[in-house]
Amino acid sequence: MAVPSDCAGFTDSNYTQLTELYTKYKDRGFEILAFPCNQFLRQEPGSDEQIQEFACTRYKAEYPIFQKVKVNGPDTSPVYKFLKASKCGYFGSRIKWNFTKFLVGKDGKVINRYSTLTSPMAIEADIQKALEAPEP
């Protein structure tokens, strides 16, 4: 998921809910992979160290927060090339905004893609179903 530190209306609720979901399901194998991105109105201007400190201190994030990546364009990270090729959004594969989420199953296949407007808690049932799926 592309995460920014300064996305009005989305940062606080998304980070808070992500931490809640991670705490609840991490012992069942649930992982969150957060990829900071500065491609949307430069809402992630900090260094990798500042981003890590922000997420871990303010939101108690215990899940991996990677270095900044590009989610669109010619320098798109390999992870996002894979995710976007696996599940397009309503208007194509391009990531439209911060906090676009992808749910990946135990088999490494993308189960679903969720828009910025879909809160992390709104996909909890899908997470539970993915965790209950048999091992590949």
Q: Of 7, 37, 56, 88, which one is the catalytic site residue? A: 7
Selected residue with higher pLDDT from 10 and 39: 39
Q: Which helix (H) or strand (E) is 18 found in, with range?
A: helix 11-25
Using the predicted structure, report yes or no on whether residue 89 has a pLDDT greater than 80: no
The residues, ordered by sequence, that sit 6+ positions from 107 with a Cβ below 8 Å of its Cβ are 136
> How far apart are alpha carbons 64 and 77 in whole angstroms?
16
35 or 89: which leads in pLDDT: 35
**24-39: average pLDDT:** 95
The secondary element (H helix, E strand) that includes residue 102 is: strand 101-104
Q: What is the pLDDT of residue 1?
A: 52
pLDDT, average across residues 13-39:
95
Report d(CA 76, CA 132) in Å as an integer: 32
Lowest mean pLDDT among 31-40, 46-55, 79-88: 46-55
If you average pLDDT over residues 104-127, what whole number do you get? Answer: 97
Q: How far apart are CA 15 and CA 35, in angstroms?
A: 12
pLDDT for 7 equals 45
In this prediction the pTM is: 0.88
Which domains, and CATH codes, for the chain? 2-127 (3.40.30.10)
Poorest-confidence range of 29-38, 41-50, 77-86, 94-103?
A: 41-50
Task: Tell me if 72 sits within 8 A of 93, measured CB to CB.
Answer: no
- Helix, strand, or coil (residue 33): coil
Residue 7 bears catalytic tag: yes
d(CA 80, CA 104): 12
Residue 118 DSSP one-character state: S
